[in-house]
Amino acid sequence: MKRIAIFASGAGSNARKIIEHFNHHPRISVELIVCNKPGAGVLNIADEHGIPTLLLDKEQFFRGNAYVDELKADEIDFIVLAGFLWKVPAALIQAYPGKIVNIHPALLPNYGGKGMYGHFVHEAVIANKETESGISIHLVDELYDHGKVVFQASCEVKADDTPETLAQRIHELEHKHFAPVIETLLS
C-alpha cells in the first residue's frame, strides 16, 4: 500500500477530493493530513474522514528535522502539497526525492514563485489581461514552482472574470485532475 501525506494550509477542497478518490483504493491510501495553520478547514475534513493530523511547529519545520523522522515512522511514501503555503525545506525534499508533488493554480512557468499563491495568482492573471489560465502539477524542488511539470490543463479567462470566478474555474480543473495524476505517478 502506498501511504500518502497531504500537506495543506487552507480550506482543503483539493485534499477532500484526493481523500475521496483514494477511499477504498487497493494500492494507495491517504494516511495523514499535515497543516501549518490551526483551525484550517482541511483539519475538519481530516476529522470527518478519521484521518490523523499533524500540526507543524515552524521552528521544528524550518530549523529542525522538518518532521522527516515522524513521516518515516508513519511509513509515509509520498507527499502531496495541496494549498500548502510554506516552502518545503531541503531536508524533507532530500528525504523524499521525486516523491513530493504540488499543484499550482496557473500555467507555469508564468505566475509562479514567492508571493504567487491563492487569489494573488488570479489577481495577477486578470491584471495582465490574460485570456487563458489553468493548473500545473509539478514535482517539488528547493525553489518555489521550479520542479518538473508533470501535468497542465488550461481554461478560459473571461473579460468579466473576478479573482473569485476564475478561482472557481481553476478549482474545477484541480478537482478533476489532481487525484488521477497522483494515481498515475504512483503506478
Ligand X SMILES: NCC(=O)N[C@@H]1O[C@H](COP(=O)([O-])[O-])[C@@H](O)[C@H]1O
Backbone angles phi, psi at 69, to 5 degrees: -60, -45
What's the closest the beta carbon of residue 160 comes to ligand X, in angstroms?
Answer: 21
Inter-CA distances, 111 with 118, 126, 131, 135, 182, Å: 11, 11, 14, 11, 23
Number of residues that bind ligand LMY7XDAE (CB under 6 A): 17
Per the listing, cell 472574470 goes with 161
Strands 78-81 and 100-104: parallel
Smallest separation, CB 10 to ligand X (Å): 4
Q: How far apart are CA 152 and CA 31, in angstroms?
A: 26
**Residue 36 interacts with ligand X (CB under 6 A)?**
no
- Is 104 known to be catalytic? yes
4, 5, 6, 8: residue in contact with ligand X (rule CB under 6 A) = 8
Q: Is 82 in the site for ligand X (CB under 6 A)?
A: yes
Chain contacts with ligand LMY7XDAE (rule: CB under 6 A): 81, 84-88, 102, 104, 114-117, 140, 142, 144-145, 147
